[in-house]
């Protein structure tokens, strides 16, 4: 089935089986390896992408469902100022260890900062509750995000 | 001749008074790559359709004879290339680390629900899954045993016939005379403690990609924590020389010990398929498979008796440790060994009697997990200390300070610790900084006013031997070469599993020792192209792994100092190389780093070196469990404040105060990251995480919905800056000891002590799920 | 790669009529709303529908509206839209609280209220608040529409009163009178977790007397339940600490919890009592 959508600001078209999940389309048809597979059942957050600026798990979406939608992964944000601010803060604060969870966290945080430029700690914790990290203990992630509140 | 004796080089750098980059919070070189998705993890190398996809058939029986495996129908599927079982293994089907008891693929018998039996190789994922459902395994059921106590008694049911008993391995310590010790004790406490399994739940599951090349070698992209071990295991399974196997490690999405056990086996399975088919083969564990197959943190039963005299000095301990090792020992004997030799805690005990049992059951095996047998035993030790203090009517910190090891004292194994024993200082410093007594007192008042919620403050103090146990050889190595343009390549077998060793501390150490700018240093990690560096485990990545890096760099530095002194016409002692500037501190004459290296190439000075270092160790007598156990110990103390809802049984950790005596701290941010991560993992272990087993010994919650690890809302963000005592260790690089596992080790003890303090009831069983807490209070 | 989804035919109708026609004709189909339950159920082969009817194009099912009598929520309304709605936050605080504590942002951005109800899990978190609000579910088929009280909707685990050709289109909630309320969800961790017990408590109080008490719980029976015995006992009684204690114990008559990987039956029973007490205290603004 043909599906057209906007991926990282580019119009794209793919021909997929309706069973194909967005996670696989992004990884294997577009080489977007930032989108990680941790569980494939909506439990971990490593496959987070933005659909129309909202974070969702790409393992829980069929590719055929994104017809006409706007998909963003970190690869599409490398020139974005807010994004740069977030990743630099993550790096400087030591919020990245193994890094497997990192793109997911950054996208969710980015989506949050797009709607609130001064989120409270509660907002941050609430927004990120669906992104698991087994390495950092989250403290440095929260530090990284609170330190960029404008 | 330049001095290239590793001991002299190490002690020279050990004496350094000031540092350029060591001890600074240098940002890791891999952060941005990881943030923008450029860093490659295992699945990133898989190309569907061009590589075989491997799927595993797992046992659905806990204990059974395999009568037949019929996969003839599966082979009829168009994309199936083969189904491989134990009988296809060309080499030796035995991958046990400690004992030769574990097959790569079940042979004759299955011993746990989830044990791998066959590998399906398919060009397409769909067919691999289809094939899985078409394979028929005929089992003859045997009676399973799940309870280690029962397993110890039973002789009629043997999980491993060849062993003649379900007790796979025993350990002991006999020190002094415990009868006398107990008779000198005025206060004796006896308790039985129980701890449970823990699943690693690294966010990246296990995977491997094996690629045969035209030279007949097999290249394996692997997630093993020890590439050279993976190489050995693959060589054994395939029956081909290790030199034909090359291991490369990409970034790994968390490991915590789990990929030390499972990693080589994943590599071997992928390699087996690649070897048998001649095609690249990719194996990835689904989350469910990962949880069902790989070994877990030990589940234990510990009977502990300790006695103190009137003055609060420990006189004797008697301990019985039972580890439920599951279907295979894996590293169980080493884990038990470590638990046994740490069973005194970091305290001086003149008389000790310890027996350890590693017992088979028909469950998922026990294996390596941050702390390696130590968190459970320190939980028992530290619970005992609190109970003793309570009975004696003294403060828990005061009792600990009386008994903590100090330089010159001997350990439970009779090993004299002559230096690098900062634990007493550490506990004292931590207690002062956090105002322990004041906080405890305030809490007790708070509790008087509060009915429903109760608060408690508890501490766990622990020690952890660095390097492998006993006289088991341990060494370090690395290979460094400086390229013509002055940039530097460092080759190490140490892997990057999140801890950041290769991407921070190694770069710092090399930059420090060579004087080259930090950004010139590139580390090639996790490869068998580097000399065998040992594993990235046992908190040895920096402590031991980096010795080789320092020695290699220091060797080259000696040569460069001499070369520079020739060029600048001065003595080598006057040469300073710092951040790419090379100068004579007398005349201030100067050349640039790049020029120096160019000259080295021109004048025939070798600017490459290996840094082999063999760690000196002593003797150990297994019959009495006395002698040299570890070259050095790191020490840790963590205090936690908890709040308990006595209605629902919910516990929250409100705050944590960590402290560490781990020698020189090479990168504070990295160390904090390890501490905070370990605290979160410890909170998860004690409060939330619990494997549930069904009637077949199967794991019922093999997913992240029902095996719950902490989210961002479940940890405490209030973790104080760590207190450090830099009790430098003479063979550590710049005096560093291990850090990675440390903060986890006292966490179960600290939380349990805090909960016990709040409720005035001794916690002896983990986890502290709301349900178990209510039971403890008597509310259920 | 960790799973494979079974093959299916994919339909993506553009209007409600089309949907109703399709589901009238198709055999062995499943509606795909947010997919957060369905995709997992297909992966673990609980369901292997031959046909999937994706209703995500049906914008006419996404709304939150208020008229004189009712607050109406389209069945395809995303959970995140529910907590971002002022109407819900102000007028249906129990629903707001329940949805706020569901899953994660990523899931809430996809998952729908209709999916949560039609999936009919005993742990469905939107059920307790809707049950105390006495919500009505409007279901449609090509033959027309009917209303089902939410109290009659759940039949058992994953079973509802929906007929094979019916679609849930609207959740219709009578506007509550001024009331006290309290919501609790206890899971195995503090966030992003399924409930061990969740409870919605609603009270109408007049002159210190309980004029109306409505309590609903999930995860303590094959389907979400009302605590009828507790409600009956307290109705028209004075607000009194002792009475609340007594009443809370009665909940055991209304529930039939089981032991599973999430909790034991005993703990669920205990929690039900404790939470009823706690929420009644909070809802009637007295301290325990
Ligand atoms: C990680 C994770 C966490 C979760 N946490 C929670 C939680 O905390 N609390 C909770 O209650 N649930 C939770 N869920 C479950 C799930 O997200 C919710 O039940 C969600 O509301 C389902 O909505 P959906 O639109 O995704 O449903 P779908 O998956 O699209 O549908 C669910 C079922 O309902 C049917 N259906 C959907 N819409 C209609 C309709 N209009 N008419 C008729 N039938 C219909 C479908 O055919 C399917 O059988 C969680 C799920 C995941 C994966
Ligand atoms: S892979 Fe999608 S949430 Fe885990
Ligand atoms: S950094 Fe490893 S999971 Fe977050």
Tens of pLDDT, residue by residue over B410-427, are 999 999 999 999 999 999
Whether ligand 3 lies within 6 angstroms of the CB of A99 is answered as yes
Tens of pLDDT, residue by residue over C64-94, are 999 999 999 999 999 999 999 999 999 999 9
Does residue B425 form part of some domain? Answer: yes
Tens of pLDDT, residue by residue over B119-140, are 999 999 999 999 999 999 999 9
Tens of pLDDT, residue by residue over B229-239, are 999 999 999 99
Does residue B157 form part of some domain? Answer: no
Tens of pLDDT, residue by residue over A18-36, are 999 999 999 999 999 999 9
Q: Same structural domain for residues A55 and A86?
A: no
CATH numeric code, C9-54 = 3.30.43.10
Q: In 3-state terms, what secondary structure has residue B153?
A: helix
Q: What residues does ligand 1 touch, defined as CB less than 6 Å away?
A: A 42-43; B 705; C 30-38, 40, 75, 102-103, 107, 110-112, 114-116, 118-119, 123-125, 162, 167-168, 194
| For the CA of B202, the nearest atom of ligand 3 | 3
| Nearest protein Cα to ligand 3, atom 3 | A133
Q: The domain C180-284 belongs to what CATH superfamily?
A: CO dehydrogenase flavoprotein, C-terminal domain (3.30.390.50)
> What value does the mean pLDDT take over residues B280-305?
98
**Cβ–Cβ under 8 Å, residues B380 and B340:** no
- Put simply, the answer to whether C106 touches A129 (Cβ < 8 Å) is no
Whether B2 shows a pLDDT value over 60: the answer reads no
For residue A96, the distance in angstroms to the closest alpha carbon of chain B comes to: 6
Global confidence as pTM: 0.97
Whether ligand 3 lies within 6 angstroms of the CB of A98 is answered as yes
Query: Which one of the ligands is nearest to C36 CA?
Result: 1
Token pair in block for residue B22: 């060591």
CB atoms under 10 Å from CB of B764, counted, come to 19
- Put simply, the answer to whether B31 touches A91 (Cβ < 8 Å) is yes
Q: What is the pLDDT of residue B48?
A: 97
Ligand 2 midpoint to CA A36 (Å): 7
Q: What is the pLDDT of residue B1?
A: 41
Last residue of a domain, one of A57, A74, A91: A74
Query: Which one of the ligands is nearest to B711 CA?
Result: 3
**Cβ–Cβ under 8 Å, residues B729 and B632:** yes
Q: Same structural domain for residues B629 and B646?
A: yes
| Nearest protein Cα to ligand 3, atom 4 | A133
Nearest residue of chain B to residue A19 (CA atoms): B126
Residue B316 host element (H or E):
strand B314-326
- Contact list in A for residue B251 (CB cut-off 8 A) is 98-100
Q: Same structural domain for residues A26 and A84?
A: no
Q: Which of A43, A74, A94 sits opposite B705 (nearest CB)?
A: A43
Q: Which of A75, A137, A140 sits opposite B37 (nearest CB)?
A: A75
**Cβ–Cβ under 8 Å, residues B284 and B42:** yes
Nearest residue of chain B to residue A32 (CA atoms): B37
- Put simply, the answer to whether B31 touches A39 (Cβ < 8 Å) is no
Q: What is the pLDDT of residue B207?
A: 98
For residue B188, the distance in angstroms to the closest alpha carbon of chain A comes to: 38
Last residue of a domain, one of A58, A74, A90: A74
d(CA B379, CA B462): 9
Check CB contact of A40 with chain C, cutoff 8 Å.
yes
CATH number of the domain to which B261 belongs: 3.90.1170.50
Tens of pLDDT, residue by residue over A57-84, are 999 999 999 999 999 999 999 999 999 9
In chain C, where the domains are located: 9-54, 62-174, 180-284
- Put simply, the answer to whether B203 touches A98 (Cβ < 8 Å) is yes
Q: What is the pLDDT of residue C288?
A: 58
Q: Same structural domain for residues B101 and B49?
A: yes
Q: Same structural domain for residues A25 and A57?
A: yes
- Put simply, the answer to whether B126 touches C189 (Cβ < 8 Å) is no
Q: Same structural domain for residues A87 and A126?
A: yes
- Put simply, the answer to whether A91 touches B717 (Cβ < 8 Å) is no
| Three-state SS annotation for B677-733 | HHHHHHHHHHHHCCCCECCCCCECCCCCCCCCCCCCCCCCCCECCCEECCCCCCCCH
C209-229 residues labelled b (16+ CB within 10 A) or e (exposed):
ebebbbbbbbbbbbbbbbbeb
Q: Which of B126, B452, B708 sits opposite C193 (nearest CB)?
A: B708
Tens of pLDDT, residue by residue over B350-371, are 999 999 999 999 999 999 999 9
Q: Same structural domain for residues A42 and A98?
A: no
For residue C244, the distance in angstroms to the closest alpha carbon of chain A comes to: 33
- Contact list in C for residue A130 (CB cut-off 8 A) is 103-107, 192
**pLDDT interval class at B538 (50, 70, 90):** confident
Q: Note down the domain range covering B56.
A: 42-142+206-284
Q: Same structural domain for residues A60 and A104?
A: no
Does residue B670 form part of some domain? Answer: yes
Whether A131 shows a pLDDT value over 80: the answer reads yes
- Put simply, the answer to whether A40 touches C4 (Cβ < 8 Å) is no
Tens of pLDDT, residue by residue over B676-715, are 999 999 999 999 999 999 999 999 999 999 999 999 999 9
Last residue of a domain, one of A20, A54, A74: A74
Whether B631 shows a pLDDT value over 60: the answer reads yes
CATH number of the domain to which A11 belongs: 3.10.20.30
Whether ligand 3 lies within 6 angstroms of the CB of A21 is answered as no
- Put simply, the answer to whether B780 touches C266 (Cβ < 8 Å) is yes
Q: Same structural domain for residues A104 and A42?
A: no
Please provide the average confidence, as pLDDT, over all residues in chain C: 97
The best mutation among B498, B672, B677, B712 to test binding of ligand 3, ranked by most ligand atoms within 8 Å of the C-beta, falls on B498
The number of folded domains in chain A is: 2
Q: Same structural domain for residues B603 and B643?
A: no
Q: Same structural domain for residues B317 and B452?
A: yes
Q: Same structural domain for residues B52 and B16?
A: no
Instruction: Show Cβ contacts of residue B306 under 8 Å, excluding neighbours closer than 6 positions.
Output: B188, B189, B314, B316, B317, B318, B384, B388
> What value does the mean pLDDT take over residues B78-85?
98
Q: Same structural domain for residues B452 and B308?
A: yes
Q: What is the pLDDT of residue B449?
A: 97
Q: In 3-state terms, what secondary structure has residue C174?
A: strand
d(CA A50, CA C2): 22
Tens of pLDDT, residue by residue over C148-168, are 999 999 999 999 999 999 999
Whether C137 shows a pLDDT value over 90: the answer reads yes
For residue C57, the distance in angstroms to the closest alpha carbon of chain A comes to: 9
Q: Which residues share a beta bridge with B581?
A: B578, B592
Whether ligand 2 lies within 6 angstroms of the CB of A37 is answered as yes
Instruction: Give the rounded distance of the alpha carbon of B473 from its chain centre.
Output: 18
Tens of pLDDT, residue by residue over B558-576, are 999 999 999 999 999 999 9
Closest Cα partner for B491 from B601, B608, B579, B597? B608
Share of chain B above pLDDT 90, in %: 90
Last residue of a domain, one of B259, B284, B309: B284
- ipTM score of complex: 0.98
Check CB contact of A61 with chain C, cutoff 8 Å.
yes
Please provide the average confidence, as pLDDT, over all residues in chain B: 96
Q: Which of B648, B701, B705 sits opposite C271 (nearest CB)?
A: B648
For residue B41, the distance in angstroms to the closest alpha carbon of chain C comes to: 16
Ligand 2 midpoint to CA B226 (Å): 28
Q: Is B627 left (phi over 0), alpha (psi -120 to 50) or beta?
A: left
The number of folded domains in chain B is: 3
Rounded to 5°, the CA angle B522-B30-A103 comes to 160
Spatial strand order in the sheet of C70-74:
C64-66, C70-74, C167-174, C136-141, C144-149
Whether C2 shows a pLDDT value over 70: the answer reads yes
CATH number of the domain to which B602 belongs: 3.30.365.10
Q: Note down the domain range covering A33.
A: 2-74
d(CA A129, CA A120): 14
Please provide the average confidence, as pLDDT, over all residues in chain A: 97
Query: Which one of the ligands is nearest to A44 CA?
Result: 2
CB atoms under 10 Å from CB of C159, counted, come to 12
CATH number of the domain to which A126 belongs: 1.10.150.120
Q: Same structural domain for residues A68 and A21?
A: yes
Q: Is the dihedral of CA B418, B424, B426, B428 positive or negative?
A: negative
* CATH class of the structural domain C62-174: alpha beta
d(CA B577, CA C46): 67
Q: Same structural domain for residues B366 and B501?
A: no
Q: Same structural domain for residues A28 and A45?
A: yes
Q: Same structural domain for residues A10 and A62?
A: yes
Spatial strand order in the sheet of B479-482:
B521-524, B488-491, B479-482, B608-610
| For the CA of C32, the nearest atom of ligand 1 | 30
Q: Same structural domain for residues B666 and B724?
A: yes
Check CB contact of A46 with chain B, cutoff 8 Å.
yes
Pairing mode of beta strands C51-54, C29-32 = parallel
**pLDDT interval class at B505 (50, 70, 90):** confident
Q: Which of A32, A40, A132 sits opposite B709 (nearest CB)?
A: A132
Peptide bond into B767 cis (omega under 30): yes
The best mutation among C41, C63, C111 to test binding of ligand 1, ranked by most ligand atoms within 8 Å of the C-beta, falls on C111
For residue A36, the distance in angstroms to the closest alpha carbon of chain C comes to: 12
Q: Same structural domain for residues B233 and B249?
A: yes
Q: Same structural domain for residues B589 and B641?
A: no
Q: Same structural domain for residues A103 and A141?
A: yes
Q: Same structural domain for residues A69 and A6?
A: yes
Q: What is the pLDDT of residue B645?
A: 97
d(CA B677, CA B688): 16
Check CB contact of A92 with chain C, cutoff 8 Å.
no
d(CA C251, CA C257): 11
């Amino acid at each position: 089935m043909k599906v057209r959508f906007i991926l990282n600001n580019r119009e794209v078209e793919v021909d997929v089986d309706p069973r194909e999940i967005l996670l696989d389309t992004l990884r294997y048809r577009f080489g977007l390896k930032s989108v990680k597979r941790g569980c494939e059942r909506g439990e971990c957050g490593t496959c987070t992408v933005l659909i129309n600026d909202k974070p969702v798990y790409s393992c829980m979406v069929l590719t055929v469902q994104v017809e006409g939608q706007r998909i963003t992964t970190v690869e599409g944000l490398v020139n974005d100022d807010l994004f740069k601010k977030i990743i630099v803060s993550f790096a400087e604060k030591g919020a990245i260890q193994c890094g497997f969870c990192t793109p997911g966290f950054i996208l969710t945080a980015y989506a949050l900062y797009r709607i609130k430029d001064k989120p409270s700690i509660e907002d941050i914790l609430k927004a990120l509750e669906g992104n698991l990290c087994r390495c950092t203990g989250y403290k440095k992630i929260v530090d990284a995000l609170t330190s960029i509140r404008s | 001749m330049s001095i290239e004796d590793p001991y002299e080089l190490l002690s020279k750098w050990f004496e350094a008074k000031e540092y350029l980059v060591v001890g600074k919070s240098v940002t890791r070189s891999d952060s941005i790559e990881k943030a923008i998705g450029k860093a490659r993890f295992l699945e990133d190398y898989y190309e569907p359709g061009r590589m075989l996809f491997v799927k595993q058939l797992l046992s659905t029986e806990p204990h059974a004879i395999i009568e037949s495996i019929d996969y003839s129908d599966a082979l009829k599927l168009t994309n199936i290339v083969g189904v491989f079982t134990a009988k296809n293994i060309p080499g030796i089907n035995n991958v046990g680390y400690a004992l030769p008891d574990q097959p790569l693929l079940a042979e004759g018998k299955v011993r746990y629900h989830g044990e791998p039996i066959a590998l399906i190789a398919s060009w397409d994922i769909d067919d691999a899954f289809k094939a899985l459902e078409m394979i028929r395994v005929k089992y003859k059921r045997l009676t399973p045993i799940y309870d280690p106590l029962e397993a110890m008694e039973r002789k009629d049911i043997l999980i491993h016939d060849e062993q003649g008993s379900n007790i796979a391995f025993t350990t002991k310590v006999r020190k002094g005379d415990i009868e006398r010790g107990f008779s000198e004790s005025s206060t004796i406490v006896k308790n039985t403690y129980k701890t449970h399994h823990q699943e690693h739940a690294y966010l990246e599951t296990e995977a491997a990609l094996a690629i045969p090349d035209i030279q007949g070698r097999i290249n394996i992209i692997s997630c093993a924590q020890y590439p050279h071990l993976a190489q050995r295991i693959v060589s054994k399974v395939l029956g081909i020389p290790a030199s034909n196997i090359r291991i490369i490690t990409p970034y790994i999405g968390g490991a915590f010990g789990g990929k030390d056990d499972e990693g080589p086996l994943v590599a071997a399975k992928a390699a087996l398929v690649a070897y048998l088919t001649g095609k690249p083969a990719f194996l990835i564990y689904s989350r469910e498979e990962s949880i069902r197959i790989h070994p877990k943190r030990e589940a234990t039963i510990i009977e502990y008796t300790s006695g103190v005299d009137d003055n609060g000095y420990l006189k004797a301990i008697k301990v019985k440790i039972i580890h439920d090792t599951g279907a295979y020992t894996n590293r169980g004997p080493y884990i038990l060994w470590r638990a046994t030799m740490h069973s005194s805690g970091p305290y001086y005990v003149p008389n000790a009697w310890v027996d350890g049992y590693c017992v088979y059951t028909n469950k998922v095996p026990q294996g390596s997990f941050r702390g390696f047998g130590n968190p459970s035993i320190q939980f028992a030790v530290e619970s005992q200390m609190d109970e003793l203090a309570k009975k004696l009517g003294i403060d828990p910190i005061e009792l600990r300070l009386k008994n903590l090891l100090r330089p010159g004292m001997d350990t439970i194994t009779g090993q004299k610790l002559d230096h690098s024993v900062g634990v007493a200082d550490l506990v004292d410093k931590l207690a002062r900084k956090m105002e322990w007594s004041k906080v405890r007192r305030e809490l007790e008042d708070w509790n008087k006013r509060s009915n429903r919620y109760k608060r408690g403050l508890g501490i766990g103090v622990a020690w952890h031997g660095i390097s492998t146990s006993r006289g088991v050889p341990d060494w370090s190595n690395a290979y460094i070469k400086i390229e013509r343009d002055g940039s530097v390549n460092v080759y190490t077998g140490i892997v990057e599993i999140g801890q950041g060793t290769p991407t921070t501390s190694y770069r710092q150490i090399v930059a420090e020792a060579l004087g080259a700018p930090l950004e010139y240093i590139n580390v090639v990690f996790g490869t068998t192209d580097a000399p065998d560096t040992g594993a990235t485990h046992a908190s040895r990545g920096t402590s031991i792994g980096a010795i080789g890096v320092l020695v290699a760099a220091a060797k080259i530095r000696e040569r460069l100092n001499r070369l520079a002194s020739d060029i600048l016409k001065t003595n080598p002692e006057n040469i300073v190389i710092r951040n790419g500037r090379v100068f004579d501190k007398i005349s201030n004459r100067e050349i640039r780093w790049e020029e120096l290296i160019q000259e080295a190439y021109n004048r025939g000075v070798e600017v490459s070196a290996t840094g082999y270092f063999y760690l000196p160790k002593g003797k150990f007598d297994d019959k009495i469990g006395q002698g040299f156990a570890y070259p050095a110990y790191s020490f840790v103390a963590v205090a936690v404040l908890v709040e308990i809802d006595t209605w629902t049984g919910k516990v929250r950790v409100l705050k944590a105060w960590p402290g560490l005596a781990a020698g020189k701290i090479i990168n504070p941010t990295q160390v904090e990251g390890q501490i905070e991560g370990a605290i979160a993992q410890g909170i998860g272990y004690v409060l939330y995480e619990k494997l549930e087993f069904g009637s077949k010994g199967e794991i019922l919650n093999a997913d992240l919905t029902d095996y719950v690890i902490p989210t961002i809302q479940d940890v405490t963000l209030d973790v104080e800056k760590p207190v450090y005592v830099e009790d430098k260790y003479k063979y550590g690089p710049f005096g560093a000891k291990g850090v990675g596992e440390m903060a986890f080790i006292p966490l179960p003890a600290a939380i349990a002590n805090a909960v016990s303090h709040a409720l005035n009831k001794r916690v002896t069983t983990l986890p502290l799920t709301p349900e178990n807490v209510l039971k403890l209070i008597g509310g259920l | 790669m960790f799973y494979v989804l079974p093959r299916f035919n994919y339909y993506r109708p553009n209007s409600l009529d089309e949907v109703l026609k399709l589901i009238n004709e198709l055999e062995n189909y499943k509606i795909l709303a947010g997919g957060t339950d369905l995709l997992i159920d297909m992966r673990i082969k609980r369901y292997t529908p031959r046909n999937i009817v994706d209703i995500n194009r049906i914008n006419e099912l996404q709304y939150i509206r208020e008229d004189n009598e009712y607050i109406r929520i389209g069945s395809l309304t995303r959970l995140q839209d529910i907590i971002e709605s002022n109407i819900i936050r102000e007028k249906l605080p129990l629903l707001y609280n329940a949805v706020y504590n569901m899953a994660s942002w990523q899931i809430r951005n996809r998952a729908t209220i209709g999916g949560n109800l039609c999936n009919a899990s005993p742990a469905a978190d939107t059920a307790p608040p809707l049950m105390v609000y006495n919500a009505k579910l409007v279901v449609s088929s090509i033959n027309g529409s009917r209303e089902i009280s939410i109290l009659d909707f759940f039949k058992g685990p994953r079973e509802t009163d929906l007929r094979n050709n019916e679609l849930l289109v609207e959740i219709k909630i009578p506007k509550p009178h001024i009331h006290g309320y309290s919501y609790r969800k206890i899971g195995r961790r503090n966030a992003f977790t399924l409930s061990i017990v969740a409870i919605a408590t609603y009270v109408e109080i007049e002159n210190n007397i309980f004029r109306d008490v409505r309590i609903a719980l999930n995860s303590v029976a094959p389907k979400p339940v009302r605590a009828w015995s507790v409600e009956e006992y307290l109705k028209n009684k004075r607000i009194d600490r002792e009475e609340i204690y007594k009443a809370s114990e009665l909940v055991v008559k209304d529930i039939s919890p089981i032991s599973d990987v999430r909790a034991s039956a005993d703990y669920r029973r205990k929690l039900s009592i404790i939470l009823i007490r706690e929420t009644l205290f909070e809802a009637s603004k007295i301290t325990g």
